[in-house]
Amino acid sequence: MTELRWGSATDTGVVRTNNEDSLLVAEPLFAVADGMGGHAGGEVASTVAVEALRVAFAGDQTVDGLVAAVRQANAAVLERASAEIQLRGMGTTLTALALVTEDGEARLALVNVGDSRAYLLQQGELSRLTEDHSLVEELVREGQMSPEEAATHPQRHVVTRALGMGPGVEPDVWQILPVKGDRILLCSDGLPNEVAEDDIAATLRHEPDANHAAEELVRLARQHGGADNITVVVVDVADDDDRAREASAAVGGSRAKARPLDLEPRGHPDPDLDPDPDRDRDRDPEPDHAAASARAQPATKPRGSRRFTFRVALFVVALVAVLAVGVWAVAFYGRAGYYVGLDRDSVTIYKGRPGGLLWINPTVAQRTDLKAAQVLPAELPGLRSGHTEPSLAAARHFVDNLKAEAAPPAPTGP
Ligand code: MN
């Protein structure tokens, strides 16, 4: 049996007069919600969201069920907002963790909408699992703002995704293989805005009791200013069916079969899943991208004394394999085929893709004695953009046809 232990704490903070955060501790489901909206809006939104999440998840305790429950929570917030005029425009973040069974195996499913966060403490190292759906963090991800600027930016509290914003909501989704000793932290932004991640990590490392750890984190946030409400849920994997031992046996080489990855993000739902994952690799697509970077985080975050765990190593191997296949596919496609184009005013056969593909530039396969001036004008636009053919023979045949329909060369000599 996979067994969890947990603790939680919430506090209004030092500055605010009411606590708009809500938390849910209802094994196997845990959640933090940070409400926003005038009057009582924030409090109502976060309360309605976690209650609707709890009820909906109870009916389908799977990863898909958790995602569906987030949708139900969004619908519940919208419905309440439309029913009471003073609650118009209220919204809430939602970060939830649930122990589920997928394919006969225990998994921790994690969903996130907004700028509350989930962290994983694994073998003493803290890594952030979620990406904030906030204006400033998106600018940081796009390289348009430094993390230092973001930390003090006046609009740093503006979220780009929240429950209550509209009928559609796209949670980021992850699956985590629970391993004994792992500790997961869910928190509203009132914690990381006040307490440095190193101090959060130290507290989680040194306080074994989940409730005490949660209370200590809240105390630290108050001590550092407590400008916002602070909510913390700590979930410990207390037992895992000896999965940790199996993993260390595997890393010792005694097991031929690799364990599944611990972090399996799912861009969920993904009806428009991009069939060509390489194409958008450097851009900033929504939720798949978010999931992918969160997955990469534990492996790529530079840390001085980071212990390289087996599961991180396995993930890196898988990531490198995926990238290698992508590079190979681009190289293959970029070098495949021929096209007939113009090199200054000479018709030329090239190997590769017109205009090149990423770092693969076309090369000259064969020069011809045909000049652009001899080609029928109707053929010139096609030649300028490059007329593709599957083989060199086909390209030559195309040039022969051009010659056949071309005007006879102007007579030379006397
Ligand atoms: Mn907050």
298, HSE (Cβ side, Cα atoms, 13 Å): 31
C-alpha of residue 285 to centroid of ligand 1, in Å: 26
pTM, entire model: 0.63
Helices (H), 117-274: 135-141, 147-152, 197-206, 210-223, 243-251
pLDDT at 412: 54
CA of 379 to the centre of ligand 1 (A): 63
Q: In this predicted structure, what is the pLDDT of residue 281?
A: 40
Q: How far is the CA of 40 from the centre of ligand 1 (A)?
A: 15
239 DSSP assignment: E
CA of 123 to the centre of ligand 1 (A): 29
Q: Where are the alpha helices (DSSP H) in 16-146?
A: 41-58, 63-83, 135-141
Distance 231 CA to ligand 1 centre (A): 9
Check residue 193 and give its pLDDT.
Answer: 94
Distance CA 162, CA 36 (A): 10
* CA 92–ligand 1 middle distance (angstroms): 9
Give 298 Cα–ligand 1 centroid separation in angstroms: 25
CA of 124 relative to ligand 1 center, distance in Å: 27
CA-to-CA distance for 122 and 19, rounded, in angstroms?
31
In this predicted model, what pLDDT tens digit does every residue of 149-204 receive, in sequence order? 888 888 888 899 999 999 999 999 999 999 999 999 999 999 999 999 999 999 99
Q: How far apart are CA 291 and CA 269, in angstroms?
A: 12
* 35 Cα: distance to centroid of ligand 1 (angstroms): 7
CA of 292 from ligand 1 middle (Å) equals 25
The rounded distance, in Å, linking the Cα atoms of 65 and 358 is: 41
Q: Would you call 139 exposed, middle or buried from its count of C-beta atoms within 10 A (0-12, 13-18, 19+)? A: middle
In this prediction, residue 270 carries a pLDDT of: 40
Continuous segment of H or E residues that includes residue 98: strand 94-102
Task: Give distance in angstroms: CA of 144 to centre of ligand 1.
Answer: 24
Task: Report the separation in Å between the CA atom of 32 and the middle of ligand 1, taken as the mean of its atom positions.
Answer: 11
Determine the distance from the C-alpha atom of residue 403 to the mean position of all C-alpha atoms in its chain, rounded to a whole number: 54
Within the chain, which residues score under 50 in pLDDT? 253-306, 414
**Ligand 1 center–CA 302 separation, angstroms:** 28
HSE-up of residue 333 (Cα within 13 Å, Cβ side): 13
Measured CA to CA, the distance from residue 240 to residue 161 in angstroms comes to: 34
Q: How far, in Å, is the centroid of ligand 1 from the Cα of 190?
A: 5
